[in-house]
Amino acid sequence: MFITLEGSEGAGKSTLIERLKKYFLNNNIEFIFTKEPGATEEGKELRKILLDKTIMLDPLSETFLLLADRLEHVRKIINPALEKNKNVLSDRYLDSTYAYQGAGRKINQDELDQLIKPLKFPEPDLTIYLDLPVEEGLKRARGRDKLDRFEEEDIDFFERIRNSYLKAAQKNSHRIFTIDSTNSETKVFELARDCIEKKLNES
């Protein structure tokens, strides 16, 4: 089972992941938790460049670095785990690229498809998208620590990202489950847990 978690800044992915980790551990459900960018040793180096706000990247260069990170991630972590029938949960994956580089950085969908399709990344069985109004998310994210290269962007950038996620969720309703992140942390966790368990029981 391959599950991905998506959402924009401050949507509560980290809190949800901590709660899911505990829940799976307590219930003897084995899951490999991983993330993008930066899950592999090679990816960690790419992540440094991607988040460094002193580095100016062309949107396409940014995309290539993210895809290189994903290729390492898929080949070294995700595919080997799925081949052994393990459960994998990735904090961000393909939908992030369409939202951030597509809508955010304005690379058109066909161009992105042309870069991405030949790489044959596995499609997630389930994607949980945490949705939050942009103002709210930025307030939460910016209250935390130093801003990275993405978090520094203006509000329009994040509005485009949110709209793109919402559209993707509508278009791919068989795969993407949207959770309203203005709910309490407990409610968000319960909704995500129930949805994951249902999927696990179906398979």
User: Which positions touch ligand TYD (CB under 6 A)?
Assistant: 9, 13, 36-37, 66, 92, 96-97, 100-101, 150
- Cβ-based nearer residue to ligand TYD, 31 or 98: 98
129's tokens: 């998208």
Question: Residue 67 or residue 126: which is nearer to ligand TYD going by CB?
Answer: 67
Q: How do the residues of the chain divide into helix, strand and coil, expressed in percent and rounded to 5?
A: 55, 15, 30
The structure tokens listed for 203 are 């398979």
Q: How far is the CB of 109 from ligand TYD (least distance, A)?
A: 14
> By C-beta, is 81 or 200 nearer to ligand TYD?
81
- Contact partners, residue 24, CB within 8 Å, separation at least 6: 30, 31
**Shortest Å distance, C-beta 148 to ligand TYD:** 6
Q: In this complex, which beta carbon is closest to ligand TYD, that of residue 37 or of residue 124?
A: 37
CB of 6 closer than 8 Å to CB of 179: no
Only one residue has tokens 């990735």, namely 90
Shortest spacing between CB 92 and ligand TYD, in angstroms: 4
